[in-house]
Amino acid sequence: MSSRTVLANAIRALSMDAVQQANSGHPGAPMGMADIAEVLYNDFINHNPTNPSWANRDRFVMSNGHASMLPYSVLHLTGYDLPIEEIKNFRQLHSKTPGHPEYGYAPGVETTTGPLGQGVSNAVGMALAEKVMAAQFNRDGHDIVDHFTYVFLGDGCLMEGISHEVCSLAGTLNLGKLICYYDDNGISIDGDVVGWFADDTPKRFESYGWQVIPDVDGHDADAIKAATEAARADLNKPTLICCKTVIGKGAPNKGGGHDVHGAPLGADEIAATREAIGWNYPPFEIPDEVYAGWDAREIGAVAEASWNAKFEAYAEAYPTEAAEFTRRMTGDLPENWETAANDAIKNIAEQAISQATRASSKTALNAFGPLLPEFLGGSADLTPSNNTFFSGSKYINSAHGPEQDFSGNYLSYGVREFGMSAIMNGITLHGGLMPYGATFLMFSEYARNALRMAALMKIRSIFVYTHDSIGLGEDGPTHQAVEQIPTLRMIPNMNVWRACDAVESAVSWKSAIEAKDSPSCLIFSRQGLPHMERDEATLANISKGGYILKDTDGTPDVIVIATGSEVQLAMDAAEQSDKKVRVVSMPSTTEFDKQDAVYKESVLPSAVTARVAVEAAIMDGWYKYVGMNGAVVGMTSFGESAPAEELYEYFGITTKAVLAAIDDVVA
């Protein structure tokens, strides 16, 4: 038995033992891909286990995330701070080794995977970020950004439609430092995939513009190494290496079948596997010579030290660029950010702009964009409608200019809402860039799982949504978002903002930019909206998510809460009502909920139980703020096809309706 096989068998042993102890997990893919991992990590991947965040490390993504015991095993074996106790605690509460690799738990895990197809999508974002950062920072003789992104993926990733979205774009963008290993084992949970997945995968990827290396024996180290060398040699195309493997390789009775995919092998089969692969050690025991064969700490430290020397030379030649690179890779905002951003918001307030908030979003981008060279914007084929191309934007892949210019800061994603969102997550995870991407609010439905993953990972991706309600008008209910805003608010750790004018739009952008540990959804209108007057104190409170926009002398009879385009209705109703009305604009319920009890009580005093909420969306979530005895003016159904003004009248979302609700709750 070769020494390489012995090293690979350590992955097999740890994987089957951890799954067996947890009585839960997927041993088949880790055992089947162990030989590929051994070659990749011992011959190619540039990483330093003692510094998992080294800027120029290669990125590795386990897209078939159910095979999480493979990366956990490799991270443990190569010397990351992932002791054997964590391997033994696989899938247990508060362990660093949850059931799918999760970002922020085990050092060296680059992204959270599990929903199939999103890992490779994140990897496309990482490879794209590498190419953009290289174009922005590298100089002749100083290639400080120069690394590969490696991906393991399986049949499930390729069956999910998102893989088409992102791999098509990766080929178009010539992301040559993206290398994917396809675990072609012919098995999924239901059995042999030939019954439901008969695609000619090599031809599919060739049509995307990828380099495809077919029919590689995934258990032959020499073949894997040769394929990887060929992949690395072509920097003009991403590469798919099609590896023929046996799922559960080494298990004499269950290997090669679907029973080994997602269940423990069982004590008898584990004993038989140990004998079959010559692994004569107890569970979780790794001999010293195997640890020595895997240990990457010394070589990793040497690699990072070599890069550090390059960076020192770069910093001497280009001190401004070096400082900027360091700032951006740490995720810090520019030193002058707070002052400059606040000045920009005050300037927008002074201009008293009345316009659609999608246009106000562009106004904010024009103000903030010059301050943030890390911006990488984009749209899913709706740039003119989303207004996301600001004065400082420069296309990477415009059909109207240079074919490709990766020093740019704006990307046409094509009609790929889900792919765009998952790619953005990969860009964020790579570091050095702050992505924002836009589409119509309705199409957040296509992207929803990527939004959830951004929130789960606590990363700063900025999702921009326009055409936010029945105010979209004639396009009708297929495009009119009515349930999307409430459900976006339900995602834990997601900041959701729906602005009522240019000032709130700018504040929502500032909040998203500063939210380092959470993603944001910025929601803007198609129709024009009036400017709201505010004093300085009121302006300062917008960032708290909910604030008093209009008040009355003494204790109010009623509080009207509104967001977005419906704030105007609340203000008009307050002017016309014979009651003492306080108007609370609540552009972000998620941000308001974070405020302390004293502030929330000052805005929504518990003594005032007469409350009305108004929003052109499904109304259920507003009872949290108005109480079950309060009133909500909103939607209970899908929209219709008609001009926006007619729809607001037809669905009863009007000043008149707010006035009637005020009278009802006061009575």
* Cα(397)–Cα(394) distance, integer angstroms: 9
* Cα(77)–Cα(75) distance, integer angstroms: 6
Q: How many CB atoms lie within 10 A of CB 302?
A: 11
Backbone φ and ψ of 77, nearest 5°: -70, -35
Active site residue 417: yes
Place of tokens 């999924």: 188
* Cα(45)–Cα(61) distance, integer angstroms: 12
Any known ligand binding at 116? yes
Contact indicator for 121, 417 with CB cutoff of 8 Å = no
Which amino acid makes up residue 132?
Answer: V
DSSP-based three-state secondary structure for 487: helix
H-helix or E-strand spanning residue 634: strand 631-635
The number of helix segments (H) and strand segments (E) in the chain equals 27, 20
Any known ligand binding at 66? yes
Any known ligand binding at 475? yes
Q: Measure the CA angle with vertex 438, ends 330 and 624; round to 5°.
A: 90
Which of these is catalytic: 417, 566, 591, 615? 417
Any known ligand binding at 261? yes
> Can you give the three-state secondary structure of 489-544, one letter per residue?
HCCCCCEEEECCCHHHHHHHHHHHHHCCCCCEEEECCCCEECCCCCCHHHHHHHHH
Any known ligand binding at 164? no
Where residue 65 falls (left for φ over 0; alpha for ψ -120 to 50; beta otherwise) is alpha
Q: b or e along 28-39 (b: 16 or more beta carbons within 10 Å of the residue's beta carbon)?
A: bbbbbbbbbbbb
Furthest C-alpha separation in the chain: 90
Residues 105, 106, 108, 111: is their CA dihedral positive or negative? negative
Contact indicator for 158, 199 with CB cutoff of 8 Å = yes
Using CA atoms, how far residue 413 sits from 35, 369, 404, 448, in Å, is 36, 20, 13, 17
Strand partners, 216: 243
Any known ligand binding at 479? yes
Using CA atoms, how far residue 163 sits from 18, 378, 465, in Å, is 30, 19, 23
Crossing angle of the two packed helices 502-514 and 337-351, in degrees rounded to 10? 170
Query: What 8-state DSSP symbol labels residue 152?
Result: E
Contacts of 292 (CB under 8 A, 6+ apart): none
Contact indicator for 163, 407 with CB cutoff of 8 Å = no
Query: What 8-state DSSP symbol labels residue 332?
Result: P
Which amino acid makes up residue 605?
Answer: P
* Of 594, 596, 173, the residue nearest 404 (C-alpha): 173
Q: b or e along 384-394 (b: 16 or more beta carbons within 10 Å of the residue's beta carbon)?
A: eebbbbbebbe
Query: What 8-state DSSP symbol labels residue 588?
Result: -
Any known ligand binding at 358? yes
* Cα(630)–Cα(623) distance, integer angstroms: 7
Any known ligand binding at 553? no
Any known ligand binding at 156? yes
Any known ligand binding at 114? yes
* Cα(264)–Cα(254) distance, integer angstroms: 11
Point out the annotated binding site for thiamine diphosphate.
66, 114-116, 156, 185, 261, 443
Point out the annotated binding site for Mg(2+).
155, 185, 187
Point out the annotated binding site.
26, 66, 114-116, 155-156, 185, 187, 261, 358, 385, 443, 467, 475, 479, 526
Catalytic residues: 417
